[in-house]
Amino acid sequence: MHTDAAAAPSRLAHHFPDMKTQEHAARMGMWLFLSTEILLFAVLFTAYALYRFLFPVGFEEASRLAHVAMGATNTVVLITSSLTVALAIHYARLGENRKVVGLLAVTILFGVTFMVLKGVEYHHHWVDGQLPGRMYHFAGLSGPGVSMYFALYFLMTGLHGLHVLIGMGLLSWVAFRAMRGEFGPNYSTPVELSGLYWHLIDLIWIFLFPLLYLL
Amino acid sequence: MNQLNEFFRQLLFLPTQASQWSRELDYLHYFVFVTAMLGAWTTLATATVFVFRYRRKTAEQSTPIVDPKPIHEVVFIGLPLVLFLAYFAVGYPQYVRLQTPPKGAMDVYVQGKKWMWKFAFPGGPNSTDVLRVPAGRPVRLLLTSRDVIHSFYVPALRMKQDALPGRYTQIWFNADRPGRYPIFCAEYCGLGHSSMLGELVVMPAEEWDVWMEQQRRGSQPLAQDGQPTAAEEPDLRGSLVDQGRRIAAVQGCFKCHTVDGTQHIGPTWLDLSGRTVKLEGGKTVVADEAYLTRSMMEPNAEIVAGYKDKAVMPTYQGKLSAPDAAAITEFIKSLRTDAPTAEPQKGPIYVPVTGK
Amino acid sequence: MTAATHSEGKHLGPAQYVMVWAALMVLTGVTLAVWKMEFSYAARVGIALGVALVKSALVAIFFMHLWEERGVARLVLVVSGLMVTLLIGFTLLDNATRFPYANPPYSESWKDEPWQKDAPPMQAEPPPIRTAPKSQAEHPAGHKP
Amino acid sequence: MSPSPASSPAYNTPNYLNAEKGVRSWLTTLDHKRIGVMYLALTLFGFFLGGVFALLIRIELLTPGPTVMDAMTYNRMFTLHGVIMIFLFMIPAIPGIFGNFFIPLMIGAQDVAFPRINLLSVYLYLLGAAIAVWGMIQGGTDTGWTFYTPYSTTTVTTVAPVLLGAFILGMGSIVTGLNFIVTVHTMRAPGVTWMRLPLFVWAMYATSVIQVLATPVLGMTLLLVAFEKVFGFGIFDPARGGDPILFQHLFWFYSHPAVYIMILPAMGVVSEVVQSAARKNMFGYKAVAFSSLGIAFVGFFVWGHHLFTSGQSTFASGVFGVLSMFVGLFTAIKVFNWTATLYQGAIQVSAPFVYFMGFLYFLIFGGLTGIALSTVSLDVHWQDTYFVVAHFHFIMVGGTIMAFLAGLHYWWPKMFGKMYSERWALAASVLVMVGFNATFIPQFLLGNMGMPRRYYSYPEQFQALNVASTAGASLLGFGFFLILFYLVASLAKGRASGPNPWFSRGYEWNTPSPPNLLNFPETPVIDRGPHEYQDGPAAEVKHAH
């Protein structure tokens, strides 16, 4: 494969010498952005580590209230959606836009599934009063660290869920562009970048699932 | 040695040294000061010499390329590193010593709250703002706070420790020079941060023993506030407001009245002065100086609405002189806030979650 | 994709992606299996985190194409990971070694220390951890047996 | 460098200032130079606001008791001063202004990598600033810029808007840093190798790494505080088992590296100024370049030195203390190399150089007091006193602002093509430096005496030094106004500076002043390092104009 800037002159910004530099820059920018996302979650992971260290019993008991079956299903859903995105990128590079659209649609469907299951879980916790901090009023379990677990549970899954929503938005936009047949061997950057974002969401969930549901 | 110490202490505007630890800390301070000054001025003098020696002669003068040899950078790195690590090697053990109380140290519980210091000896007595300790004996402070973070700071001891709400931190000292030293709050805690002053009274050990003996003789030493010794002159420093605060603390007013708007056994003093107060029985009265003084002398004559069952305040007739009462009134008048919401502050409550 | 940073022949095909996916599924199964077994606390934490690390490495290297990426992009993830470790590590270092009562009340570090008898009461005895009575355990999913 | 000379016909295109006209063309510009100028106007306005609050604080402290305001107003004043100075001036100023303007010029690029995102950062700055300042004034925030819990979560004043504003400002800062990293990696002209990068670019690169890695932590932490205050989540709430020191850990994980976000660009600026003013290549280029990265890296390991008296463990304090020494070490390396650069130079004592000398002086003393503070035991006395205030201002005002002024005077002719009055500039520099010393040396002594910071009233023995400090502050304020006055006057009446008034060989001087809308008519090819003056006037890029 070689760069063919002339084939897509409109995509080359004036300040870049050629397409390959421009795409390299875009990918590097995305990676740096992902690192800020990781650091954003790092705060919650730190709080989690600290309070788990301080209140091991409270956290263990509280995590028994989490709905493991739904969590596990969501894990499978997200990992599979990562596969579909990876395949979408693969076909975008080959210029097979129809396959890209299909795979992205499946991915978005997985995203919807994830959010629905998450919503069901939230609903159960809400009904039972298993809520963060001062809102916690679940009669079945009390003690030091319990409401802290739910504060972190809601913050971490909430922030993650927000990212899933943003990711679904990004993928819909990319799918729309794929529908117009924009991607090919010379141009697949938007698919790749939004794919990176989706994989990061998966990557964070891989840690959230055992920490919040299983330990 | 002593003169040298005194010379540097005054040169650097440092307060009295009231403990051996503070003296040793100051020696490190002098060492850091002298070496840092030498290093700094040597560097700056070198730069200045270069500025005068290498002035530009023509606008586009050429200069040689000068690159460092490895030895240059080794020296540039090595010299400060050795010096900085030397500072640390002296300073860190000192810090560890301050954080490790010796066995047999006397415990004192310190509670910061907006905006005063409360002290409690195990077995009594308690006191507000004034801590009396014996000279030459190690004292461990266990600090906590009722609301936000405060920091217990005694410049004369060069010692500071934050008081955290809901938990304890510790620090210890061994003051060896009798005297009265100010206590500051060093962690910003709101409106009264800068008036959260206290006093550390270091008494000769025998005197302190006698004083303690007297304090514990009462029927309820745990509930009792420490009183000043008879020989002590009243502290007349500061404005009338400061004095009023001190007198209120000694008289135990803060056991029932708060100054930060929190409701307690008695009505809060914050924004009290000038306010129209509703009384039991429906009457109202403006809280002016006369009302405030009346309330001290005949507290049960005009009971504030809602406090009927809690009307436990004793009369201070005979306990408070007229100037003392005036000083307290002034202090109450100084307590104002223009807080944008009228709702009084609810401090955090320290009851565990019971999950009901 | 252009050749700038992706050397020839390093591209993965659908078959490889499916293999990675299968590996991820197996590892998820391992995590769940370990959770069902009664290992010690430390072992459970260790295995769960270890498996999560392996899984995230798989996602990063294959799905996110670090395999074909050059230079800085690889560094970015490693450095972010380092910073996260740093933040968690130093914070825990402090809480694990500090004066026990400077940690929150009823936390682990208060447990083994005999609290001074004459301390002014700060709060009542720590409430015991009370677990859910039977009637509460009727949720559709997820309760640990 | 062998680009077309600045006088060649290729350069007879309009410069970036007059290429397009009208407010709209400024508000929608994607040009990095215009964005730099917009940052100049915005951050200077922030600096003015913060300065006014600083003077009000100093006036209040003239007498031990109440002077002109009550305690609540005073607490709001220092909160406004801190938040505005740090988030609206110190952090965005040098990267926003000089970074945007000069990084592309210095690496031979036409623009930064993501011009649209660059413009977005300006609007994020505006939005964040508006929300934060509005929130502080409307809600009367009185927490100080550190937002320590549980004070910030229990105070009766409004805090959430300021936190949100700071979060948005943080996003702007991240975006700028991200942009610079990618720019430096991907857009260097042929011949601009890593070892030929101007030292300002090195410093900005290191700064950007910190911005990208540290700022999200602050953003999330502030959001947690807002959640706690509004919904009572209890992460930092002692009543629910939360640990207030956790907030301090998270806060300083950003805010300590943040002081390097403020000082590293300053170090980059003076590296350029000193080479140009002394007509010398940097003595120990690699040492200076890599020490920037060293500071950025080690800066992440030292945050705990803000917590020596907070209840942090003794052991952790030791670890943080000894690591802090290494940050000081990297700064010392830079100081020695700058000094050695003067050796055998050809020094022109102009306004930028005077500010460089001022910077050197303030950085040395500010840095050494920093080392003294991280000598763990001494900090127990100084923590939260005016000594810390003075140390911080020595580095931030004495260091960053001196460097900012050095850069402003050095690059002013490049940015606007006009020369200011050198005589007025020298007079103002003396005023600023004397005023600065008079303001903050008394504060060191106040700290030694034990006066805690954020004190509205104070015991009488502290008054004399406080009065001296206030006097110095008014001198300082007057100096800044003088600078503003002659710089603005130079725009209207100054003589044209020509492309290279300093006869500098920094890469950015190979463009006309002000530069063209398109920086270079064709991609330049670089064949020598910046600031090499060994071969006489013959090698100078000649600019007939």
Q: Which residues of B173-190 are buried (b: 16+ CB within 10 A; e: fewer)?
A: bbbbbbeebbbbbbbbbb
In this predicted structure, what is the pLDDT of residue D81?
95
At D61, is the secondary structure helix, strand, or coil? Answer: coil
Answer whether residue D477 is part of any domain.
yes
Option in D185, D242, D313 nearest C98 (CB): D313
pTM of the model: 0.88
Query: Tell me: domain A17-214, CATH 3.40.630.10, correct?
Result: no
Domain coverage including residue D427: 31-539
- Overall number of domains in chain D: 1
- Overall number of domains in chain B: 3
A15: chain D residues, CB-CB within 8 Å: 104, 109-113, 115, 187
Do B21 and B72 share a domain, yes or no? yes
Q: Phi and psi of A134, rounded to 5°?
A: -75, -10
Highest average pLDDT, of B69-83, D6-20, D87-101, comes from: D87-101
A140: chain B residues, CB-CB within 8 Å: 355
Gap between the Cα atoms of D312 and C93, Å rounded: 10
pLDDT-wise least confident of A206-215, B258-267, D302-311: B258-267
In this predicted structure, what is the pLDDT of residue B226?
64
Beta-strand relationship, B130-134 and B150-154: unpaired
* % of chain A exceeding 70 in pLDDT: 95
Q: Report the CATH number at residue B317.
A: 1.10.760.10
Of A151, A155, A152, nearest in space to A134 by CA: A151
Gap between the Cα atoms of A166 and A170, Å rounded: 6
Label residue D265 by pLDDT band (50, 70, 90).
very high
* % of chain C exceeding 70 in pLDDT: 68
Is B200's pLDDT higher than 80?
yes
In this predicted structure, what is the pLDDT of residue A84?
95
In this predicted structure, what is the pLDDT of residue B355?
30
Amino acid at D134: W
Sign of the alpha-carbon torsion through D25, D27, D29, D32: positive
Cβ atoms within 10 Å, residue B318: 7
Query: Which of C97, C99, C136 is most worth mutating to test chain B (most B CB atoms within 10 A of its CB)?
Result: C99
CB within 8 Å of D503: residues ≥ 6 apart: B59, B60, D279, D540
Cβ atoms within 10 Å, residue D215: 27
**Hey, is the C-beta of C131 within 8 angstroms of any chain B C-beta?**
no
Strand ordering across the sheet containing B106-113:
B126-128, B116-120, B106-113, B139-145, B169-173
Do B259 and B191 share a domain, yes or no? no
Is C62's pLDDT higher than 80?
yes
Gap between the Cα atoms of D437 and C39, Å rounded: 65
Answer whether residue B238 is part of any domain.
no
Higher-confidence residue: B19 or B221?
B19
Gap between the Cα atoms of B202 and B183, Å rounded: 12
Do B79 and B133 share a domain, yes or no? no
Highest average pLDDT, of B126-140, B284-298, C115-129, comes from: B126-140
A47: chain D residues, CB-CB within 8 Å: 224, 235, 246
CB B174 within 8 A of CB B137: yes
B197: chain D residues, CB-CB within 8 Å: 459
Chain A residue with minimal CA distance to B354?
A: A142
Label residue A43 by pLDDT band (50, 70, 90).
very high
CB D56 within 8 A of CB D80: no
In this predicted structure, what is the pLDDT of residue C115?
46
Token readout for B169 is: 């931190």
Q: What is the pLDDT of residues B85-107, one digit of tens each?
A: 999 999 999 999 999 999 889 98
Gap between the Cα atoms of B252 and B246, Å rounded: 10
Q: What is the pLDDT of residues D405-440, one digit of tens each?
A: 999 999 999 999 999 999 999 999 999 999 999 999
Cβ atoms within 10 Å, residue A146: 26
In this predicted structure, what is the pLDDT of residue D409?
96
Do B110 and B95 share a domain, yes or no? no
Answer whether residue B288 is part of any domain.
yes
A38-44 average pLDDT score: 95
In this predicted structure, what is the pLDDT of residue B44?
96
Q: Residue ranges of the alpha helices (H) in D192-341?
A: 199-231, 244-278, 285-298, 314-341
From residue B24, give the alpha-carbon distance in Å to each of B21, B121, B141, C106, D184.
5, 28, 21, 38, 50
Is B233's pLDDT higher than 80?
no
Gap between the Cα atoms of B111 and B117, Å rounded: 6
Q: Phi and psi of A182, rounded to 5°?
A: -80, -20
Gap between the Cα atoms of D214 and D212, Å rounded: 6
DSSP D62: T
A156-180 average pLDDT score: 95
pLDDT-wise least confident of A3-12, A114-123, A186-195, B123-132: A3-12
Amino acid at B280: E
CB D232 within 8 A of CB B160: no
Gap between the Cα atoms of A191 and B177, Å rounded: 75
Label residue C107 by pLDDT band (50, 70, 90).
confident
* % of chain D exceeding 90 in pLDDT: 76
Option in C91, C97, C104 nearest D241 (CB): C104
* Interface pTM, i.e. ipTM: 0.88
B272-297 average pLDDT score: 82
Gap between the Cα atoms of A130 and C132, Å rounded: 12
A119-140 average pLDDT score: 88
In this predicted structure, what is the pLDDT of residue D15?
85
In this predicted structure, what is the pLDDT of residue B231?
54
DSSP D309: T
B46-57 average pLDDT score: 93
In this predicted structure, what is the pLDDT of residue B337?
64
At D452, is the secondary structure helix, strand, or coil? Answer: strand
In this predicted structure, what is the pLDDT of residue D134?
94
What is the residue whose two structure tokens read 């194409």?
C65
Label residue B224 by pLDDT band (50, 70, 90).
low
Label residue B344 by pLDDT band (50, 70, 90).
very low
Sign of the alpha-carbon torsion through D118, D119, D120, D126: positive
In this predicted structure, what is the pLDDT of residue C109?
73
B75-79 average pLDDT score: 91
Highest average pLDDT, of A6-15, C47-56, C99-108, comes from: C47-56
Q: Which residues of C touch D (CB under 8 A)?
A: 72, 79-80, 83, 86-87, 90-91, 93-99, 102-107
C79: chain D residues, CB-CB within 8 Å: 213
Domains of chain C, by residue range, sit at 12-68, 69-109
Higher-confidence residue: B13 or A5?
B13
In this predicted structure, what is the pLDDT of residue B343?
34
In this predicted structure, what is the pLDDT of residue C125?
36
Mean pLDDT of chain A: 90
Q: How far is C76 from chain D (nearest CA, A)?
A: 10
What is the residue whose two structure tokens read 């020695």?
D336
Answer whether residue D24 is part of any domain.
no
In this predicted structure, what is the pLDDT of residue C68?
78
Token readout for D422 is: 């050198």
Strand partners, A144: none
Token readout for D345 is: 């130079």
In this predicted structure, what is the pLDDT of residue B162?
95
Q: DSSP readout, D482-519?
A: HHHHHHHHHHHHPEE--S-TT---SGGGGS-SSPBSSS
Amino acid at A1: M
In this predicted structure, what is the pLDDT of residue D529?
84
Q: DSSP readout, chain C?
A: --SSSS-TT----HHHHHHHHHHHHHHHHHHHHHHHS---HHHHHHHHHHHHHHHHHHIIIIIT-TTT--THHHHHHHHHHHHHHHHHHHHHHHHHHS-GGGSPTTSHHHHTSPPPTTSPP-S-PPPPPBPPPGGG---SS----
Q: What is the pLDDT of residues D188-222, one digit of tens each?
A: 998 899 999 999 999 999 999 999 999 999 999 99
Q: Report the CATH number at residue D67.
A: 1.20.210.10
Gap between the Cα atoms of B36 and B28, Å rounded: 12
Domain coverage including residue B220: 106-232
In this predicted structure, what is the pLDDT of residue D13?
66
Are A17 and D216 a contacting pair at CB < 8 A? no
End-to-end CA distance of chain A: give it in Å, rounded: 48
Is B188's pLDDT higher than 70?
yes
Strand partners, B225: B126
CB pairs under 8 A between B and D: 307
B123-151 average pLDDT score: 89
Mean pLDDT of chain D: 91
∠ CA(C138), CA(C139), CA(C141), 5° rounding? 125
From residue D328, give the alpha-carbon distance in Å to each of D32, D214, D325, D334, D335.
34, 20, 5, 10, 10
Answer whether residue D19 is part of any domain.
no
Are D213 and C105 a contacting pair at CB < 8 A? no
Are A36 and D182 a contacting pair at CB < 8 A? no
Do B277 and B214 share a domain, yes or no? no
B25-33 average pLDDT score: 96
SS3 letters across chain B: CHHHHHHHHHHCCCCCCCEHHHHHHHHHHHHHHHHHHHHHHHHHHHHHHHHHHCECCCCCCCCCCCCCCHHHHHHHHHHHHHHHHHHHHHHHHHHHHHHCCCCCCEEEEEEEECCEEEEECCCCCEEECEEEEECCCCEEEEEEECCCCEEEEEHHHCEEEEECECCCEEEEECECCCEEEEEEECCCCCCCHHHCCEEEEEECHHHHHHHHHHHHHCCCHHHCECCCCCCCCCCCCCCHHHHHHHHHHHCCHHHCCCCCCCCCCCCCCCCCCCCEEEECCCCEEECCHHHHHHHHHCCCCCCECCCCCCCCCCCCECCECHHHHHHHHHHHHHCCCCCCCCCCCCCCCCCCCCCC
Do B23 and B114 share a domain, yes or no? no
Are D227 and A155 a contacting pair at CB < 8 A? yes
What is the residue whose two structure tokens read 């492309």?
D499
In this predicted structure, what is the pLDDT of residue B221?
53
What is the residue whose two structure tokens read 């650097």?
B12
In this predicted structure, what is the pLDDT of residue A45?
96
Label residue B220 by pLDDT band (50, 70, 90).
low
C45-55 average pLDDT score: 92
Label residue B352 by pLDDT band (50, 70, 90).
very low
* % of chain B exceeding 90 in pLDDT: 40
CB D143 within 8 A of CB D159: yes
Is D96's pLDDT higher than 70?
yes
In this predicted structure, what is the pLDDT of residue B264?
73
Do B126 and B90 share a domain, yes or no? no
- Subunits adjacent to chain A (3 or more Cβ pairs under 8 Å): B, C, D
In this predicted structure, what is the pLDDT of residue D266?
96
Q: What is the pLDDT of residues D443-478, one digit of tens each?
A: 999 999 999 999 999 998 999 999 999 999 999 999
D52-72 average pLDDT score: 92
Gap between the Cα atoms of D424 and D487, Å rounded: 10
Q: What is the pLDDT of residues D486-537, one digit of tens each?
A: 999 999 988 988 888 998 988 899 888 899 888 888 888 888 888 888 876 5
Strand partners, B320: B317
Is A20's pLDDT higher than 60?
yes
Answer whether residue B244 is part of any domain.
no
Mean pLDDT of chain C: 74
Gap between the Cα atoms of B248 and D540, Å rounded: 79
